[in-house]
């Protein structure tokens, strides 16, 4: 087991410098560096002090990480349609409710418009892969063309409408997961 690499990862996840971690544990920056480079081993008491800073138990620290899926093929997608087939939403990653973001591929037929979404927490990002759409945020409208993107906080009522002559395809990412665009 590579204790140093695991300690460094925890420190980086908490956005702490070696100096900040040393200060919180009454250790020196040099000692933290030695631990992270596996040139020294901590005592159990010292390791416990370090893990307390991160809010991690000894059991959690020494448990083998659970492998999670990294690549998701088309067979993993969850698809839904609305307004006949005018709006198609493909959730690209299963189990989004257990993640921080929810990526989807949204296809709008010409003239199709997503239901107006109420205010909710989080942010929404879209990259237009094909076509031309109009994004409505409260009373303002923005035109987005192929190879352009949009980003907004979801604290405004919002919708998207295809204003092009062909289908529009958007890679859409919502955080936290709230995808319900077929209304």
Query: What pLDDT was estimated at residue 125?
Result: 95
CB atoms within 10 A of CB 21: 22
Out of 26-30, 78-82, 145-149, least confident range: 78-82
Q: Same structural domain for residues 166 and 140? A: yes
Q: Same structural domain for residues 80 and 162? A: yes
Average pLDDT (96-101) is 74
Q: What is the token pair recorded at 10?
A: 């925890």
Q: Which residue in 52, 61, 59 sits closest to 27, CA to CA?
A: 52
Average pLDDT (18-33) is 95
Domain that holds residue 133: 74-175
Q: Same structural domain for residues 83 and 138? A: yes
Q: Same structural domain for residues 81 and 160? A: yes
Distance CA 146, CA 130 (A): 5
Q: Domain holding 38: CATH number? A: 1.10.260.40
The verdict on residue 115 lying in a domain is yes
The verdict on residue 180 lying in a domain is no
Q: How confident is the model at residue 101 (pLDDT cuts 50, 70, 90)?
A: confident
Q: What percentage of residues in the chain have a pLDDT greater than 90?
A: 67
Is a pLDDT exceeding 50 seen at residue 181?
A: no
Phi, psi of 19, rounded to the nearest 5 degrees: -65, -40
The verdict on residue 80 lying in a domain is yes
The verdict on residue 67 lying in a domain is no
Q: Same structural domain for residues 85 and 54? A: no
Query: What pLDDT was estimated at residue 160?
Result: 96
Q: Could you tell me which residues come within 8 angstroms of residue 179 by beta carbon, excluding any fewer than 6 positions away?
A: 89, 91, 96, 102, 104, 172
Query: What pLDDT was estimated at residue 182?
Result: 44
**Range from 22-26, 70-74, 81-85 that averages highest in pLDDT:** 22-26
Q: Do residues 176 and 121 make contact, with C-beta atoms less than 8 angstroms apart? A: yes
How many domains is the chain built from? 2
Out of 45-54, 106-115, 154-163, 170-179, least confident range: 170-179
Is a pLDDT exceeding 80 seen at residue 60?
A: yes
Query: What pLDDT was estimated at residue 180?
Result: 55
Q: Same structural domain for residues 97 and 155? A: yes
Task: Provide the mean pLDDT of the chain.
Answer: 89
What is the tens place of the pLDDT at every residue in 44-53?
999 999 999 9
Which of 62, 84, 109 is the endpoint of a domain? 62
């Amino acid at each position: 087991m590579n204790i140093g690499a695991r300690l460094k990862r925890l420190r980086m996840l908490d956005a702490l410098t070696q100096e900040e971690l040393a200060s919180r544990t009454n250790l020196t920056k040099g000692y933290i560096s030695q631990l992270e480079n596996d040139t020294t081993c901590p005592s159990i008491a010292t390791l416990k002090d370090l893990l307390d800073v991160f809010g991690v138990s000894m059991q959690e620290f020494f448990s083998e990480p659970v492998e999670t899926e990294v690549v998701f093929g088309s067979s993993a997608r969850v698809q839904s349609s609305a307004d006949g087939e005018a709006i198609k939403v493909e959730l690209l990653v299963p189990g989004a409710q257990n993640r921080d973001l929810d990526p989807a591929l949204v296809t709008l037929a010409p003239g199709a418009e997503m239901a107006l979404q109420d205010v909710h927490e989080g942010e929404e990002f879209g990259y237009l892969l094909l076509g031309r759409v109009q994004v409505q945020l409260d009373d303002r409208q923005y035109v987005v063309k192929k190879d352009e993107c949009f980003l907004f906080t979801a604290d405004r009522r919002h919708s998207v409408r295809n204003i092009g002559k062909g289908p529009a395809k958007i890679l859409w990412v919502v955080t936290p997961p709230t995808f319900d665009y077929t209304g």
